[in-house]
Amino acid sequence: MNPDLSVRIGNLVLPNPVGVASGTFGYGSEYESLMDVDALGALYTKAVTPEPRPGNEVPRIVETPSGMLNSIGLANPGLEAFVRDKLPELRRRRCPVLVNVAGASEDDYLRVLERLEPEDGISGYEINVSCPNVSHGGLAFGTDPALVERLTARLKRSLRSARPLIVKLSPNVTDIAEIARAAESGGADAVSCINTLVGMVIDVDRRRPRLARGTGGLSGPAIRPVGVACAFRVSRAVAIPVVGIGGILEARDALEYLLAGARAVQVGTGNFRDPGTAARVLEGIRDWMVRNGASRMEDIPGMLDA
């Protein structure tokens, strides 16, 4: 039996459930010589904002127990440079490319989407309302259900895009299921979770935070139990697909998300440890499906005995 690994999100069919997470894979070419980028289930780009952003002061990263903090700060060349310099190579990819979009206002998000909509080579959008590393927008949007619903509805309505719109959720909230329902009511085609948790590390010798910006976003295996719990709750709260993210290094980690209810996953920090992670995870999911008699991705969530 050869399981069907494809996953449908809105009108889009992903060839397989294992994508790479925004901000951890650049625009794909960085990993070109290390793995088969075209074989990915999906490539989520670094966040694109209307204007170029240099990013935060350095240091921007610090390792933590089984995790890391980053405060990159949505560094990106901006919308126009993205279209000019990055999109041509992304367009040549044979894997679905989803553009992660960020902004400081509703208009910002809309501006990015409107500019990208006529461009080829983009399979979908992931709306980042959950970045903890910027002062305006980002996380602020993601913690208020009314704002999430309004933003999602506005983007869907104005754009009338055939491309799916995925809203990326923050774990830094009291009730992530409520935010997910807001995204769904607004018309989101899927939600992805989780973005990073707010964290801080202090250098006790130098008596200052390790990150120039003080706090950063915690990712990696340390947060996997939090991500799985979020995916579990969110997938019971909404009918749209859930994309599970957080601390995936191995196939069994991804399967935790899939059994919890996610339809697909993204590998983030895992890419840093081993660029072959996504491929290895996919292989392991396939093996598990064969062993456990799952023929399609949609079978997996129902196999949890909870």
Partner 1 sequence: MRRFDTPVLENRELSRDYRRIEVEWPGDAGTPAPGAFLTVGVSGTTDPLLRRPFAFSGYDPREGRAAFIFQIRGPATRLLSERRPGTVLDVLGPLGSGFPDPAPGSLPVLVGGGIGLGPLVFAAREFRLRAAAGGWEAPVLVLGFRTADQVPALDLPEGSVLCTDDGSAGFRGTAVEAAERAAAGGRYGPDAPPVFYACGPAPMMAALDRRAASLGASYWAAVEQWMACGVGACLGCAVRLKDGSFARACAEGPVFDGTSIDWGAM
Q: Is 44 in the site for partner 1 (CB under 8 A)?
A: no
Nearer to partner 1, 9 or 79 (CB): 79
Helix (H, G, I), strand (E, B) or coil at 72: coil
Helix (H, G, I), strand (E, B) or coil at 191: strand
Q: Residue 26 binds which one of partner 1, ligand FMN, its own copies, none, with CB within 5 to 8 A depending on kind?
A: partner 1
Q: Residue 166 binds which one of partner 1, ligand FMN, its own copies, none, with CB within 5 to 8 A depending on kind?
A: none
Q: Residue 197 binds which one of partner 1, ligand FMN, its own copies, none, with CB within 5 to 8 A depending on kind?
A: its own copies
Residue choice 164, 241, 247, 275 for contact with its own copies (CB under 8 A): 247
Four-CA torsion 173, 45, 212, 174, nearest 10 degrees: 0
Rounded Cα gap, residues 301 and 292, in angstroms: 12
Residue choice 5, 9, 12, 31 for contact with partner 1 (CB under 8 A): 31
Q: Is 65 in the site for its own copies (CB under 8 A)?
A: yes
Q: Residue 305 binds which one of its own copies, ligand FMN, partner 1, none, with CB within 5 to 8 A depending on kind?
A: its own copies
Q: What per-residue string of b and e applies to 205-226 under the rule 16 or more CB within 10 Å gives b?
A: eeeebbbebeebbbbbbbbbeb
Q: Is 259 in the site for its own copies (CB under 8 A)?
A: yes
Sign of the CA dihedral running 172, 68, 253, 48: positive
Sign of the CA dihedral running 67, 72, 74, 76: negative
Nearest residue by C-beta to ligand FMN? 23
User: Where in 24-53 is the site for its own copies (CB under 8 A)?
Assistant: none
H-type alpha helices, the chain? 79-81, 87-91, 106-116, 139-142, 145-159, 176-185, 224-237, 251-260, 269-273, 277-292
| Surface-to-core class of residue 109, CB atoms within 10 Å of its CB (0-12 exposed, 13-18 middle, 19+ buried) | buried
| Closest residue by Cα to residue 169 from 151, 258, 154 | 151
Q: Are 275 and 32 in contact (CB under 8 A)?
A: no
Cβ count near 120 (within 10 Å): 7
Nearer to ligand FMN, 161 or 196 (CB): 196
Q: Is 269 in the site for partner 1 (CB under 8 A)?
A: yes
Binding-site string for its own copies from residue 262 to residue 301, where x marks contact by CB under 8 A and - marks none = --------------------------x---x---------
Q: Residue 168 binds which one of its own copies, partner 1, ligand FMN, none, with CB within 5 to 8 A depending on kind?
A: ligand FMN
Residue choice 14, 43, 46, 263 for contact with partner 1 (CB under 8 A): 46
Could you list the active site residues? 131
Cβ count near 174 (within 10 Å): 7
Query: Binding residues for its own copies, per CB under 8 A?
Result: 64-67, 69, 143, 172-175, 197-202, 204, 206-209, 214-215, 218, 220-226, 228-229, 232, 247, 252, 255-256, 259-260, 288, 292, 303-306
